[in-house]
Amino acid sequence: MHSEKDKRPKGFSLIKLALFLLIILVISGVAVYSFLDINPFDVLSEGVEGIYDRIFTASTQQLKETVKDILDIDPNEKISCTAVSGDLAIAGISAVRIVDQEGMEKAYIPVSLKKPYVQSYEDTVVIADIEGRYFALLMNGKIAWEKNIDEDIVNAGISDTWVLLITKSKQSGYKRTIRAYSKDGQEISFRNVSNYYPFMAANYPGYSKACFVVNSIETSGLEANGLFEFLDLSMNQKASIKGSKEIFGNGFPMEKESLFVYSERSIMAVDSMYKTVWQHKMEGLAVTAANVISKKFPVVALLDTNVLSRERRNETIIRIYNNNGTEKHSFVLTGKVTGISVKDKTAAIIAGPEVFFINQDGNIMDQYTARSDVLGVYLAKDDTAYIVTYDLITRVKIKTDHKFLGLF
């Protein structure tokens, strides 16, 4: 006859088994709901076999939808691309097309461009013919207005309020002209430049709506220096930053009305009063690309020139900073980084045929390898990217870790 003491372990083991099975069911339910978007309670109505069929179908469909080739490109044709409202605008010599994430054409605008160029801000796109004289504003897939001017276009930019042009000045004694147009196509202000060469103009609403930023090159003999200017809306200079035998790249607005600026060998942050908040000069490192994640964290690609000269190979340090200039995280990639694109919390780092998708903590969330070198990455959302090579445009769904268990 068994004692009461002998019976207890059996009952306790059954409880443990039941708890273990319950935990397995909960984890499976969360996984099914998080990653396949299937409510586990549907098993009550569809049965185990029905849910199995849905999981298999969802898994297969998810695999097919992760990477999708959406457009073939003529390798001999020059194109320019920009993401607009989740879609992609592609400018060629004879047309500007807008396609969605499935490759379906949403708009077709006939044009005649020598060197097509497009840039977007939210749902508006500026179209420009580089080295030509035509430019236009595209809104909701239609041309809002278009112009032909009397000077060749060098560059174009767009913000929520402004369309900006850099043109080659035809006036005697001047090199280039900076022009500002309102969103309805009226020229508001311009500035003729005689002693240096502006090549980019921008307005950053996240930094200052009442300021134009102009990037230029000063030349003297064989020496070239960068000039980063801040102009008011009447094109009067408010401040400038001069590079010492280095050219500036771009500026990116950050929180607290500051602007992150990088050059070939340094990075810095400038406040709304045009004063340098912090600055880092790079020794033995060349800045090849930069951007800002979440409007808080500058991410910089630093090519190790010592490794390049010593071992004849490329090694790039990816360094992420806090908005106060302190280092947050860094890691090393083999290869030369040629571009960094950002959308919200995701940064896409281009290195040859490789694209690495990272978050603000420097974690590589996903990776894509193209058949040839990647020319550009345009993020429609922080989990969707258009990847452009010389002959193909591919849409990629990015595995992000922004959500906890895919739920929050």
Question: Which of helix, strand or coil describes residue 57?
Answer: helix
Q: Is residue 334 part of a domain?
A: yes
Amino acid (one-letter) located at 332 = V
Phi, psi of 302 (to 5 degrees): -120, 110
What is the domain extent for residue 319? 282-408
User: Do 297 and 362 form a contact (C-beta atoms < 8 A)?
Assistant: no
Contacts of 260 (CB under 8 A, 6+ apart): 251, 252, 253, 254, 267, 268, 269, 290, 292, 298
Residue 149 lies in a domain: no
Query: What's the one-letter identity of residue 27?
Result: I
Identify the pLDDT of residue 304: 93
Burial 215-237 (b: 16+ CB within 10 A, else e): bbeeeeeeeebbbbbbbeeebee
Both tokens of 14, joined, read: 């059954």
160 in a domain, yes or no?
no
Question: Both tokens of residue 216?
Answer: 């230029």
CA 301 from centre of chain: 14
What pLDDT is attached to residue 50? 55
Evaluate whether 243 touches 312 at the Cβ level (below 8 Å).
no
Give 76's Cβ-side CA count (13 Å radius): 0
Structurally, how many domains does the chain consist of?
Answer: 2
| 157 belongs to a structural domain | no
Tokens 């906890």 appear where?
Answer: 404
In the block, residue with structure tokens 């708009």: 107
Q: In the prediction, which pLDDT does 35 show?
A: 47
Among 45, 63, 81, where does a domain finish?
63
Tell me, what CATH number does 354's domain have? 2.130.10.10
Q: What is the pTM of this model?
A: 0.83
Q: Is 171 a domain residue?
A: no
β-bridge mates for residue 72, sequence order:
392
Of the candidates 245, 249, 252, 256, the one whose C-alpha atom is nearest the C-alpha of residue 228 is 249
Within 8 A by CB and 6+ apart from 136, the residues are 111, 126, 127, 143, 144, 145, 146, 147
Q: Does 402 reside within a domain? A: yes
Distance separating alpha carbons of residues 283 and 380, to the nearest angstrom:
35
Length of the chain equals 408
**Cα separation, 10 vs 12, whole angstroms:** 5
- For residue 293, being part of any structural domain is answered with yes
Domain boundary at 37, 63, 89, which?
Answer: 63
The answer to whether residue 186 is domain-embedded is no
Element (H, E) at 51: helix 43-66
The pLDDT score that the predictor gives to residue 85 is: 94
Q: pLDDT averaged over consecutive 10-residue blocks of the chain (408 residues)? A: 51 68 67 51 52 49 73 94 97 97 96 97 97 96 96 97 97 96 97 96 95 94 90 97 92 95 97 96 95 97 87 92 97 96 97 97 96 97 96 95 47
